[in-house]
Amino acid sequence: MLSTPRVFVRSILKSLLLMLLFALIYKFANNEHVREGIGDEGFDILNKFLFAPFASVSPKAPPLLLFGYDDVYMLHHHLWDEDNNTNYGNLFHRSHIVQFIEALDNRTQRLKVYHLAPPKALFIDFDMSFTLLPDGKTLSEEDQALLTILKKKRDYVIILPKSQTANFIEYSCDPTIQKLIKEQKIIFASVGFSVSKDNTVRRYRAYESYHERGEEHNYSSVEVVLWQLAQNHSHPTTLPQGFKQRDVVANRILFKNYDATLPIQSKWANLKHYSVLRHFGTEGNKVITSNYAGAMVILGTTYTNNGDSHEVLNIFGSQILSGVEIHAHALMSLFAFDGQLKLLPFWLTMLMVFTLYFVVDYPISKAFNRWKVQKIEIRLLAPLVLALLVMAIFSWVLLQFGYWFDWFAPTVLLDIII
């Protein structure tokens, strides 16, 4: 049985060793191997059990309306064949997108009648790299109709995806289109995610670079653009200072699971997910016009096997979300963190790690010593479980203020080493 001074010294040494392990994790936080082996597990655990049920966003965050071309819409408009495969080729009918924009413009006019704010933006998550005709350059009737409606004057910004160098709208010869692009009434934003080795999406990419006409141009991600528009930033396409294209910590996405008891509703308070049919539906079924006031509107495909689906939350069993849904969660993450997630300053991390582990380990070790607990399982697991619980709660508190440190693997490693 250890004497009290020896128990004290042993707890001090264990706390110092844990500080060393955390220092190594902090130093290599953006290393791919550290990320895959250490960082993601702790974040997944907090996301699943603490943040997903309790996270909230800034009260400054506008409503986010996500409209999906879902299974019901595809069946209603006969866009599936008898095997539930799309019957229109690789690119979605742009006539349906035109109809959505027309309906949103009508809603905007009705908002004016009631002296309500117009929507802030419409993000259309459909590839616009090429036209619908086989050569990818010649405009079809649907392409021309889309260009025509995009040229209309409106009170909200339209955001289109930039997924490769070519883009028939961005490089249109139409002077009105080019004027709207210059005035940032039409914005092109990147839409990339970072996929981990376990094929799980946990991070967005803050921008993408494309070489165009001999120059390199950076396109901020749609999450960043929408976040800056919500803050009435005068240059929403300019990447904020400190944002990196890939960052293991800063670019993490929080996923609040969809509630199975509701019709595909997100647990984010201000994120509502609807079928596109409800954008047009009959009275009593469609989304009421006042919901669009000051809202960010996102439009994309959410039907089964849509080709833009990704696994998330893989450590607890994968959940499949469409790309447009992941963009919505990434935007909510920016609002929840009031920007990007930040690493706790190094010195503060070391101080808190030492303090938290010591106040857990010393009383337990002293109690075990007094009660003459000999079973190795109890002596190992009790401090480990309690230390993990304290570290997890502390990490969750930090998340409320937009800070993160990797807590899970170092704490487990310490007890295994000891």
Encode pLDDT of 166-191 as tens digits: 999 999 999 999 999 999 999 999 99
Structure-token match 């997903």, residue found = 52
Greater model confidence, 154 or 262: 154
Q: Which of 77-86, 90-99, 266-275 has the highest mean pLDDT?
A: 90-99
| Structure tokens given for 173 | 């010869």
Confidence of residue 417 (pLDDT cuts 50, 70, 90): low
What are the sequence ranges of the domains in the chain?
4-56+341-417, 64-337
Is 28 a residue whose pLDDT tops 80? no
Encode pLDDT of 287-340 as tens digits: 899 999 999 999 999 998 888 888 887 555 677 889 999 999 999 989 888 888
Give the pLDDT confidence score for residue 123 in this predicted structure: 98
Is 102 a residue whose pLDDT tops 80? yes
Concatenate the DSSP letters of all residues of 64-121 into one string: EEEEEE-HHHHHHTT-B-TTS-BSS-SS--HHHHHHHHHHHHHHHHHHHHTT-PPPSE
| Structure tokens given for 267 | 């647990």
| Structure tokens given for 271 | 């994120």
Q: What's the average model confidence in pLDDT over 33-37?
A: 58
Is 15 a residue whose pLDDT tops 90? no
Sign (positive or negative) of CA dihedral 227, 238, 67, 107: positive
Q: What's the average model confidence in pLDDT over 154-163?
A: 96
Is 262 a residue whose pLDDT tops 50? no
Give the pLDDT confidence score for residue 407 in this predicted structure: 64
Is 122 a residue whose pLDDT tops 90? yes
Structure-token match 């392409």, residue found = 143
Query: Among 109, 104, 92, 264, which residue's Cα sits nearest to residue 161?
Result: 92
CA 163 distance to own-chain centroid? 18
Measured distance CA(22)–CA(40) in Å, rounded? 15
CA 160 distance to own-chain centroid? 18
Q: Which residues are registered as beta bridge partners of 322?
A: 309
Taking the CB of residue 396, how many other CB atoms lie within 10 A of it? 16
Encode pLDDT of 193-207 as tens digits: 988 877 889 899 999
DSSP 290: G
Measured distance CA(257)–CA(397) in Å, rounded? 20
Query: Among 35, 45, 60, which residue's Cα sits nearest to residue 255?
Result: 45
Is 263 a residue whose pLDDT tops 50? no
Is 260 a residue whose pLDDT tops 60? no
Give the pLDDT confidence score for residue 193 in this predicted structure: 93
Give the pLDDT confidence score for residue 218 in this predicted structure: 92
Taking the CB of residue 349, how many other CB atoms lie within 10 A of it? 21
Q: For the whole model, what pTM was predicted?
A: 0.87
Confidence of residue 85 (pLDDT cuts 50, 70, 90): confident
Is 89 a residue whose pLDDT tops 80? no
Confidence of residue 30 (pLDDT cuts 50, 70, 90): low
Q: Are strands 265-266 and 258-259 parallel, antiparallel or unpaired?
A: antiparallel
Q: What's the average model confidence in pLDDT over 148-162?
A: 96
| Structure tokens given for 230 | 């919500």
Sign (positive or negative) of CA dihedral 410, 416, 417, 418: positive
Give the pLDDT confidence score for residue 341 in this predicted structure: 85
